[in-house]
Structures are given as C-alpha cells and as structure tokens.
Structure 1
Amino acid sequence: VWINGNQFSLISTIYPPFKHHLTIASAYFSSIFGTLGLISNLIAFIVLLKSFQQKHSRSRSFFLIFLGGLVVTDFMGLLVTSSIVISFHVTHFNWRHLDPNCHFCNFMGMSMVFYGLCPLMLGAAMAVERFFGINLPFARSTSMPKRRAVYMVLMVWLIAGGIALLPLTGIGNYHMQMPGSWCFFNISSEGNDLAFSLVFSLVGLMCITVSFLLNTVSVVTLIRVCCGQDRLQRRRDYEIEMMLQLILIMVIASICWCPLLIFIAQTVLSGSPLQIKSLLLWLRFATWNQILDPWVYILFRRSVLKRVNPRLDWSRVTSLGLQYVLDCVSML
C-alpha cells in the first residue's frame, strides 16, 4: 500500500495521525517496571533451577517445568517490549523513518499479543495438570512422562504464536499506539479488527475461567484429603504447596488481566471510541502480572515459610489458607 510516497505493510496500515504525548507515559515508568520485572524473573529462574536439581516427586517435576516456562516467557516478554519502549523514550526515534514498512511495529505488536497470552494459557495448562494430578493421580502418572510437560509448554507457545500471527492471514492488523512508543493490534469494531480483538480478549478470559473452575475442584479435593479422616495416610504437603502457588498465580492473573480483556471486548462490541488513557491504565495493570508471578514461587515455598516460623504447622496452615483463598475468590 502506497501512501504519500511511502510503502506500508498490509499487516499494519497507516500510522495513526497523532503527535507524541510524553505526559501520558514516560521512560521512568517503563524503566522501573522493566527492570523490576527482569530482576524478579531472573531470581525466580535461579531458584527454580536449584529446586529442579533436588530430588522431588514426578508431579513436582511437572509443575517446575510449567513454572520454568512461565518465568522464561515473562522474562522474555519484559525484555523485548521494555527494550523497545525505553529506546523510544530515550532516543525519540521516528517510526516512519526507522520502520517505513512497519516490520518493526508488527514485530512489537506480535510480541505484545504472544507474551500477553502465554502466561494466561500456561496458567490454564498448569490448572489442567494439577486437576489430573490431584483427582486422577494414577491415570496421570502412567500416561504423562516429564517430556509431556515440556510438549505442553511448547504447544502453548505455538498456539499463542499462531494467534499473534493471525494478521498475516488478514484477520486484524497492528498499529502504532499513543503516545507513539509502542505497537498493538487495532482495537476497533470494524471488520477483521473486531474479530481479532475478540479472539484476543475471549481466549484470555477463557483461560482464566478454565483455571478458576479446575483449580476450584482441585482445592476442594485437597481440603477433603488433608482435613478428612485419612489425612495421616495421605499427607500431601508438596501438593498443597503447588496448589497454593497456582491459586495465587491465578488470582494475580485475574486481577491484572481481566480489566484489559474486558475493556477490549466492551470497546469493540459497543462500537465506542477507544479511550487511550484507559487502555494505558489497564495495560499497566497487566504488566504487573509479569512482575508479581515470579515472587509467588520465590516467597510462597515451604522452605521460606518455615524459616519465618520454624514451628509452623505447614499442613494445617496451608490447608486453611487454601480454603480461605478459595472463599475469597468465589466471592469475586
């Protein structure tokens, strides 16, 4: 497509006609969030490596593989997107001159979609794994070797990548967004933009819903096992630890992502103009997910909690904690 003598990609149409409003976003915000997130995920990755080298059960190995995939995804997402945004705020480069064919803009837009959906889809995959591990342990243990967990993580990345590449097929397109420092898909109620916006928001909401339903069943099962008459025969401290971490990951993802996903769906379905400040606000909420996720595993481990209080009755406290978290989530 040729516009004013410049060639533009079919994936990303013309750049929006706006000037840079540096008051809406600044380099300080992006730098602080990006650095904090990268450090958090790096610490979590080191902790995961040390934990994986220790002797642990098969189910623990599965869970650590999923957590490792989540940490790597969050780290790479922050590294890619923050680098571009910070570079813009520092150098104030001109997108038209630097990226006349929109390849760079398309890359960032696809990265935003890919690294946005991956944590939600990995959370749903972990919920599925824990559901079968707790409710159907014998079926899972005989049919799911460790490499199956690796395949599931790779499958999540493949599906998220496929969704991010949908504009290549003509479904949706990526645009530069205000204040001119980042690119995202065009949130519009017209044609294929409506379809892609709904795909992104509905896939994210569906992953959160699946996580909530399966985690609820798993928590109820664990509470019955740990608090029932057979609790001495079936002490599952490691199961409770993994379930507590998974519940917290789900709660964080729901709080951080639901506002943005609902905002996108509501905007395109109602046909109302896009509110840039609201988009940036909910996007910042979503960014917190990549920062808080690693601290769930860093802090909420038996070894850490026992150092805080060596006399802590892990089984009883975490069972009551799971039940309390479940009650709070059910009231949301």
Structure 2
Amino acid sequence: MELGNVSDAGRLGSCFRGKNVSDGNRGYLTSPWFSTIFGLIGLSSNLFAFCVLVNSSRKMHSRARSSFLVFLCGLVVTDFMGLLVTSCIVVPYHFIQFDWRNVDPGCHLCNFMGLAMVFFGQCPLLLGATMAGERFLGIYRPFSRSVNMSKRRAWILVCLVWALGFFLGLLPILGLGDYTLQFPNSWCFLTLLHDAGNRAFCLIFALLGIFCVGLSFFLNTFSVVTLCRVYHDSESVQRRRDSEVEMMVQLLIIMVIASACWLPLLIFIVQTALQNADHISRQTENSLLIYLRVATWNQILDPWVYILFRRAVLKRIYPSLKTRPSIVSLYPVLNTSLRQKFTQESVLQ
C-alpha cells in the first residue's frame, strides 16, 4: 500500500513519510484479535484494581498508607486511560483497515495518538520515581513526612507528574520533532529519522525514562536497606509493621515490571537515535513494534500487583500474619513536643 505520491505530498501532513509500506509480515505482528484481547484484559484488570484501591482508601486511617494509595490510584488511572485511548484507535484500524490519508490527511488524529503514546508511556515511569521518593521519605524521615504529606498534596504531586508528561508529549506539536505513522499503519509515535529535532526528542523521551527507572532503583534500594537495618536493630522482630513491608513489596514489584517492560524500548530508541542511518529500515520498524508491545505489558501487569500483593490476600494464604506496630515505633523515642505536634496535625486533617 502506497502512503503517498508526489501529487499527494502537498496535501498530506508531516506524519506521512511518503514511503512504501507493504502488507508483508502482517500476520503474527498485526492480528486484530491480539490487540482486542490485550486491550480488554488490560482495561478489566485496571478497572478491578481501581475498585480495590478505592475500597482500601475508604477504610484506611494511616496517612502514610493513604497517601501511597493516592499514587497507586494515579498510576492505575493512567494505565487504564492509556489502554482505553490507544485501543480506541488501534482496534478499529485492524478490523476495518481505514486509510489514514483519507481519515486524517492533516495528521490531527496521528498527533493526538502520538501525544497519548508519549504521555501514557512516560507518566507511569515518572509516577514510579515519585512513589519511590515518597517511600524513601516515609522510611528515612517518617515523622517529618507524616506531618507534611496529605492526600491533597499527594494528588497535587500526581497532577504535576501528569502536567510534565503532557508537556513532554506536546513538544513535537510545538516543533521539536514529529509524530509519524508507524508500521503497520495502526499507530503513531515519535520519529526515529535522524534529523536534529527528531533525534533530540527521541533522546529526551528515552533518557528521561531511563533516569526515572534508575532513580527508582536507587531510592528503593536505599529504602529497603534502611528498613532492614531498622528491623535488625530493633529489640524484637515482632515489632515489624506489615504496612511498610506491603508498600515496599508492591513498589519493588512495580519497579521490576517497569524496568523489564520499558528498558528494552528505551535503550532501543537511544541506540537508533545515535546511529547515522538516513532512513528507517523494515527491521527497525518491526523491532520498534515488538519492543512497544513488550512495554505495554506494563499496563496489564501493574494492576495485579495491587490486587494480589495486599495484606488481605496474603492473610488468606498465610493466616498467621498479624498486624504489627508502625515503623515509627522502631526509631528512638522522640521528644514529647514532637509527638504532640504530630497528634494535633493528624486530628486537624
């Protein structure tokens, strides 16, 4: 199928590269049922996880846990909307095979999808790093964090992350690079062509994602070491708190999933952007599609972390699991005035 010829070039937007895209190799890569089933599983999983989180949030009285649940809700909403928006374009294409030249000659739909792909791809990584920072403060400075963090401020942080992701997605629309139609013509994404604008945007997107994964790894490692050290130095191992352990286990699994799903794509984008090729080969397009599908598994696997790795579920598997005091009780005794201030702040909020 020819995407465009010389006479069409003046009427088509920048998302059409004017190259041939054959129908070969479509079978195993472009099955409509794969996209449909994948989307339905992801949407139902995230919807179920959101209901679980809302129910848990209503019953939660601990400020440390409730603010962490806010970040989890932000993450599951991001994953759900990402699957919903992209599936609404990809699935119809696979079933009706519409011609993008007729449906979207000005590239408005393609730019919208490209922005959505960048936004919903980068935000989970940014939220993962934010959650790692929140847990780092919650473990390393438990009292100062408990006084300063509230549900409202947690939601403000989530909104700031969304704003940063949206601004990043706007960059090609504002002139830094282009969103282009990708093989097999069912989706739009950043352009791996090697002009200065596209190369800069590719590197910004990929390196920011890698930085978020690296920051999450560093903060989570430090938090786990601190948590283990506090438990080890305590008078009794029975004084552990399941809430901190639960949050750290969930966060570590989220980090592992994000790293396994996203790093191959991000590293591939960096490697391709730094090459000196003047065109995108079919092999590169196929690899980009495969790596992207690996990355989207993050949106399916994330909600099952919240669903399965909860104390309510673990207690059914391990009935002897008991609720224990907070990590705050494991630290040296604080002065009376600080405890009174913490109590007053908790009552007021």
Normalising to structure 1: TM-score of the pair? 0.89
Q: Is 286-295 or 300-309 further displaced after alignment?
A: 300-309
Specify the code of the residue in structure 1 equivalent to 2:140.
Answer: N
- Report deviation, 1:26: 1.4
SS in 1 for 2:185: coil
293, 309, 313: which one aligns with 1:304: 313
> 1:198-235: per-residue Cα shift (whole Å, max 9, x none)?
01100100000010000000001111122333445853
270, 278, 299: which one aligns with 2:287: 278
Q: Give the number of the structure whose alpha-carbon radius of gyration is greater.
A: 2
Could you say which residue in structure 1 is the equivalent of 2:140?
Answer: 135
Specify the code of the residue in structure 2 equivalent to 1:96.
Answer: R
Could you say which residue in structure 1 is the equivalent of 2:21?
Answer: 18
- Report deviation, 1:17: 3.1
> 1:271-291: per-residue Cα shift (whole Å, max 9, x none)?
344512211111111011000
Specify the code of the residue in structure 1 equivalent to 2:251.
Answer: L
- Report deviation, 1:14: 3.9
Query: Within 1, Cα distance between the matches of 2:199 and 2:287?
Result: 19
Q: In the alignment, is residue 290 of structure 1 matched against residue 299 of structure 2?
A: yes
7, 10, 14: which one aligns with 2:11: 7
Segments of structure 1 that go 5 or more residues without pairing to the other structure are 316-332
Seq. identity, %: 54
Query: Within 2, Cα distance between the matches of 1:125 and 1:85?
Result: 30
Specify the code of the residue in structure 2 equivalent to 1:112.
Answer: M
SS in 1 for 2:60: coil
Q: In the alignment, is residue 91 of structure 1 matched against residue 96 of structure 2?
A: yes
For the aligned residues, what is the CA RMSD?
A: 1.9
Q: Is 181-190 or 202-211 further displaced after alignment?
A: 181-190
Query: Within 2, Cα distance between the matches of 1:3 and 1:29?
Result: 35
178, 181, 184: which one aligns with 1:179: 184
Query: Within 2, Cα distance between the matches of 1:72 and 1:247?
Result: 20
> Is the Cα–Cα contact under 8 Å of residues 188 and 197 in structure 1 kept in the other structure?
no
> 1:29-53: per-residue Cα shift (whole Å, max 9, x none)?
1111111100110110010011011
Q: Is 89-98 or 133-142 further displaced after alignment?
A: 133-142
SS in 2 for 1:4: helix
Segments of structure 2 that go 5 or more residues without pairing to the other structure are 325-349
Q: Is 155-164 or 19-28 further displaced after alignment?
A: 19-28
Query: Within 2, Cα distance between the matches of 1:162 and 1:15?
Result: 28
SS in 2 for 1:287: helix
263, 276, 282: which one aligns with 1:258: 263
Q: How does 1:39-58 map to 2 (within 5 A)?
A: 39-58=44-63
Query: Within 1, Cα distance between the matches of 2:213 and 2:204?
Result: 14
Q: Is 198-207 or 16-25 further displaced after alignment?
A: 16-25
Number of residues of Structure 1 aligned to a counterpart in Structure 2: 313
Q: In the alignment, is residue 225 of structure 1 matched against residue 230 of structure 2?
A: yes
Normalising to structure 2: TM-score of the pair? 0.85
SS in 2 for 1:165: helix
Query: Within 2, Cα distance between the matches of 1:26 and 1:288?
Result: 17
> Is the Cα–Cα contact under 8 Å of residues 85 and 181 in structure 1 kept in the other structure?
yes
- Report deviation, 1:176: 0.4
